[in-house]
Amino acid sequence: RPWKIASMSSIWIKDRESRFILVNRKFGEVFQRAPSELIGKTDLDLSSPELAEMYRNDDQLVMATRQPSRQEERIARGPDAYGWSETVKVPVLDVQGNVVGTAGVARDITERRLAQSLLEQRVQERTHELSDLLEQLRSEVGDDPRTWLPLFYKRVRDRRIFARRAA
């Protein structure tokens, strides 16, 4: 169902000066404007100067190398809101093979990035817990693993460090 994927993705075409010449409805929704209002605009009209420069530099690289670009990047989700997208850009060629702009597709991956960050935080917490538990055992029974290893595993089991917490 390519049309469903396309309706969930922001899609655009820009000219050589990185002005939008075509955008889909989803792209307009991201910036809370009708797609027709975005024609002729640049990233600087829609995003912070920092992001606009990053987007323009990527456009220039895609046009210069004639190679696609795929990356996860910070995106503007409105005037003062940011998120993350997986973005693919390709050069647009005319019938003579000259580069006339870029085309892009961006899929919002903000939720995935937030979940990934939360998972990394939990891993760090568990690692810290296990390290503390190991140090506590070593201080109680010494450094010989034959002494503290069975106790370590028992305490891990008893504390259910690896068990899922109730939601």
| pLDDT, tens digit (0-9, with 9 covering 90-100), for 39-85 | 999 999 988 899 899 999 999 999 999 999 999 888 776 667 778 88
Sign of CA dihedral 21, 27, 31, 36: positive
Q: Is the pTM of this model over 0.95?
A: no
